[in-house]
Structures are given as structure tokens and as C-alpha cells.
Chains A and B, each alone.
Chain A
Amino acid sequence: MNAIEIKTMNRGYGGPPVIENLSLTVPVGHIYGFLGRNGSGKTTVIKTLAGLLKVESGSVDVFGRDPWLAGALEKQRIGYLSESQTLPPMIRLRSIIRFSAPLYGDRWDTDLCQSLLAKFGIDPNRRLSQLSLGQQRLFGFVMAVAPRPDLLILDEPAANLDVAVRREFLEEILELIRIGGKTVFFSTHVLTDVERVADSVGILAGGSLVAEAALDDLKDQYRRVRLYDFAGPPPHEIPGALSLRTSGRELSAVVRIDSCQATTHLAEQYSCQIEESQLPLEDLFIELTRTKK
């Protein structure tokens, strides 16, 4: 069963479309890293999943239901942390908890809430505005996690967090998933976080998905090839290359794995040396998003 299923989603804000024909699925129990450059449309997709935006065409289902039409019971299954701070800043944290907890009924885990607040050093008697930006983020996370949601949607959760807290925070996500049957969908610019926790990755560029696969599979799908020791000038084109750079008698390109054969032929044809290596996620991300900026 899929926790999230998006089919040919389109969405704009009156101008050119922000999301175009986006389709993706997230199976139950997965941690899905949603990547994209600034302005690629990540937050629009996340807000749609949280029930804040309506799709213009296509469909979005969370646990088989359009989140725009979701009622209280369906929303109890979803924890959401917004990219920007949306909790009231002047109310004491305990008042926000007092308002939120009864809405979740039995799902709300008071012990988890208290232990996380203690772990992150957040005093519930303070107001949100009295916390640092990082602590505000953590409090938002606690509010999203305390009802033990079946689906946790996190938009840039690591923003404003220092390295140590970010690690604790990721551990909490993993801890949540260990319970079983839980799904996490999160967007981030910190690719090391994705490599650490995500099962699968979707990369958004220009409003559409340019890559979606299990993290290891995605890395296996592309190779960086270096062709060097050309007798003459290197060619300016390689079939299926995402990017190509030449320097003197050397050529460097990123190609899909199914184009590697062509690259080997090219090396034989030009009698040059060839070197293949796997790309780190960060490089792959840059290559994939550069082509559809």
C-alpha cells in the first residue's frame, strides 16, 4: 500500500505552472527524501500533501484520500512541519500543546512529547518567540511527532539546526520509523541527511520529477566518466550525457549507466584511456537539476 500517491499533478499560482505533470509514490514504511533547488516547487507539493493547497489537475492521495478533503480523523494520521514557522509565537508552548493534544485523542503520546522537549532542552512554560530559531524548529518537530503520525511530512526540517542537534533529530526520525508502518516524507537541502536516512529519493527540477529511485539505485544509474589521453581534440558530444566538460585532451562527463557502453566504444574509437566512478549524491543532484533549471 502507498502512503502517498501523486498522479500527473499540476499546480500554479496564476502565472506559469509551478508543478507540471508530477507523479510519485511513497510506499508505507519508507523514508522519502524530496530534493530540489530553491523555487523548484517542493513546498508547493508538500503544502498540497498537508491539505493546504488544492491541485489544479491530476490527483493527490494520502492514505487513499485527497488531503484537501481530509477530515479530522485523516489529519490525525499526518504530522506536518512547515518550512516557515507557523505556530503562534506569543502563546506559551504548554498552551499550544494543551490546544493540540485533545484534538488527537488517544494518538497523542504525552510521554514522547515531554521526553522530546526535555531532550531538546525546551521549557514548555516559555513562549515560542523566546526560543532560538533552531529550538522553534525542534518544537515544531515535537508537535508533529507527538501524535505518533502514520505519515510525517517535514519541509526543510534541518533548517537552523546545528550539526549535533540535526543528528539527534535524524535519530528521532529513524526511531519513529522503527516502530513500523510509519512513513516519512521530507525535503531538505542537506544531502548528507538524505544519504543518512532516506530509503528513496525524488529530485524535482522545474516543477517535474527528474529522478526517482531508491537511493542506492539512483547512484547506480549514473556514472562519471573521464576520458583522457586523446590523440587529438576530444569530441564535443557523448550520446546520453547529462553534462560534458572538456579540458585540453581530456573529457569529463556524467552519463546514464545505459550509455556507458557507448562511452567505452568512444574510448576505443579514439584510443584513449577511460575511468569510471560513482557520483556522490550531491554531484548527481547538481547534474540532474542543472539540466532542467
Chain B
Amino acid sequence: MKPINQFFHLLKYLCTASWWILVLPMAFIVQPMISVLSTSSFSSLMLQTSGVGMMCMMPMLLASMIFAPELFLRMNFTTPQTQQMAAAYSMDFLVTRPLDKPVIFSARYTFYWAALLVPCLVMIGLTFTNPSLTVNIPTKNSEEIAFFSSNLPNAEVTEKSEHRTTLHSPTGRVHLAVSMILLSAGFAAMWPPFVIWLSRQRFRNWIFWIVFLGGMLGMQLSPIFMRSRFWETGLFLIQGHVLISCLALGFLIFFGFHAARRGTLGDCR
């Protein structure tokens, strides 16, 4: 079988080998999707950005299932589903089939990104149904308002009162969703080499759960601990579009190359 045919044959297998694994990307996108799409007027961006933690950390779980499924077999709560994933995506199974190794690595990497990006694209698509965003800023400080206006694309001040200023951006919701997805993509690009490295460490299970749970909680709770800056944090997502895009693309290329070259778990026990 030619490498290109091997690739599509394997990709088809990866997509159908475990339905369980496809639940994850759907799960990781639900909270951000609800928070971004739920209403059109927000008193702050805290609610919208609350899904960022989920979007950044859930790909870690997906990456470990695709690139280091053996990690889960060593855990105490092994279920038939995790056994299925571990066997279906394990190098023990894939490397001993007549497949070229680069094909295995590139098919796994493609599957990982496809599983992540499809729900993200659905989310962006849905924001187009109601792209405008209205934000109520609890200040009348002109400097602060100017800061937010310049960062929310095409934002206009629609209302000003003693305690708050209302900004309206006609495409703000789309930009917010794109920003969150780009940030998530940056993290997602980092997870495959991280879990491959992790799978070779002695205390891999401990490190895995500390990073995963710590990251989830940390990112969810950070707006509370960064009270005076949560606006800026939220707006940075929009402000840093180019920066985040470049970082995500850089990670994607660098770590994709890394995963393709060294992403074998067969060599670790």
C-alpha cells in the first residue's frame, strides 16, 4: 500500500477505533461555547473567558489518549473504554502493522488536530449567527474606556452613565471565539510532545494529574485572583490575535515536527 493510502486507511481507523475519544473534544468545547454564545450583553468578559481553561487543558487529555495511551493503562481506574483506547492507539498495535512509521505519526497528529478543530470551527460558525457583542464596563475613566475601545474590534461607546460605560462591537463575539481557539491551539500544539516526554518519566501519573487539574483550576480561577486585571486578561485575547496566531503556528510546526520525529512510545517502558 502506498504511503498516502496507508495514511488515509489509518486515519479512517483512528477516527472509528474508539467513539469514546471523540466525546472529549465535544466535552471541551461545550462550556466555552455556552459562555460565548449564551447572551449578547455582558457585564464583563469574565464569563466568556471562563471557558479558556477548559479549552487549553482538555487537549492535554486528548493528546495523552492519542500519543501516550499506555499512560492510562497504568492508572487505577482502567475501564473497558480506556483499555480500548490504549490498545487501539498504542504503538504496540500500530508499529507492528505494516505501516511506515512517518505515516503513523502524521496520521495520529492529523487525527488529533482534526478532533480538536472540528468542534472549534463549529463554535466559530455559530458565533456568526449572532456576531455582535455588547460589554458593560464598570468605569467612566476615559483612559480605561479608550483601552477597551481600541482592543475590541470596531467598538463604539453606545451608552455612558455615572458608573458604567457600554461598548458595542459588531463582530466582537466572533473575535472572542477566535481568540480563545487560537490560545487553545497554542496549548494544543504543546501537549503532544509534553505527554510523549511525560510517558517516559518515573512519576508520570502524578505529574499528569498535577499539571492537568492544576492547569484547569488555575486557568478557571485566575480571573478571580487577578481581580483588577481580568478585563485586560480578557481583552488581551483579542488584542494579541497576531501574537497568539504566530505562537500557535510556531508551536504547531515545531512540535508537529518533533512528534513526527520522536513521537514513539514503543521505546519507553
Contact = CB atoms under 8 A, between A and B. Distances in A.
Contacts of B98: 72-73, 75-76, 103-104, 147
A197 interface: no
A140 B34 CA distance: 46
A104 B97 CA distance: 9
Interface string B122-135: 00000000000000
Interface string B213-251: 000000000000000000000000000000000000000
B92 A82 contact: yes
A52 B18 contact: no
Contacts of B100: 71-72
B106 to A, nearest CB: 14
Contact of B6 (A47, A52, A72, A85): A72
B92 A86 contact: yes
Interface string A65-82: 000000111011010101
A53 B87 contact: no
A134 B25 CA distance: 36
B9 A72 contact: no
Nearest to A54: B267
A115 interface: no
A278 interface: no
Interface string A142-155: 00000100000000
A75 B88 CA distance: 19
A73 B16 CA distance: 25
A54 B95 CA distance: 13
Contacts of A82: 92, 96
B10 to A, nearest CB: 8
A51 B3 CA distance: 18
Contact of B1 (A54, A86, A102): A102
Contact of B95 (A51, A88, A91, A95): A51
A18 to B, nearest CB: 10
A104 B16 CA distance: 20
A13 B9 contact: no
Contacts of A80: 96
Contacts of B9: 99, 102-103
Interface string B141-172: 00000000000000000000000000000000
B6 to A, nearest CB: 6
Contacts of B269: 13
B90 interface: yes
Interface stretch (B53-61, B77-85, B190-198, B252-260): B77-85
B61 to A, nearest CB: 19
A91 B91 CA distance: 17
A87 B17 CA distance: 11
Contacts of A87: 87, 93
Contacts of A47: 266
Interface string A134-168: 00000000000001000000000000000000000
A1 interface: no
Interface string A28-70: 0000000000000000000100111110000000000000000
B84 A89 contact: yes
Contact of B96 (A50, A71, A73, A85): A50
Contacts of A104: 98
A192 interface: no
A98 B191 CA distance: 32
Given A52-B266, A53-B267, A99-B13, A86 B90 contact: yes
Nearest to B81: A90
Query: Which of A80, A88, A147 has most B Cβ within 10 Å?
Result: A88
Contacts of A132: none
A100 interface: yes
Contact of A86 (B6, B13, B17, B87): B87
A62 to B, nearest CB: 12
B30 interface: no
Contacts of B46: none
Contacts of B24: none
A95 B103 CA distance: 20
Contacts of B90: 86
Contacts of A221: none
Contacts of A103: 1, 6, 9, 97-99
Interface string A5-26: 0000000010000000000000
B96 A88 contact: no
19 contacts: A47-B266, A52-B91, A52-B96, A53-B266, A72-B98, A82-B92, A85-B87, A86-B90, A86-B96, A87-B87, A90-B81, A90-B84, A99-B13, A100-B97, A103-B1, A103-B98, A103-B99, A104-B98, A129-B83
Interface of B: 1, 3, 6, 9, 13, 16-18, 80-81, 83-84, 87-88, 90-93, 95-101, 103, 266-267, 269
Given A51-B266, A71-B101, A88-B93, 12 more contacts: A52-B267, A73-B98, A78-B96, A86-B92, A87-B87, A88-B17, A88-B84, A89-B83, A91-B17, A102-B1, A104-B98, A129-B83
Q: Which 5 pairs, one residue from A and one from B, show the smallest C-beta to C-beta distance?
A: A90-B84, A88-B88, A52-B266, A75-B98, A86-B92
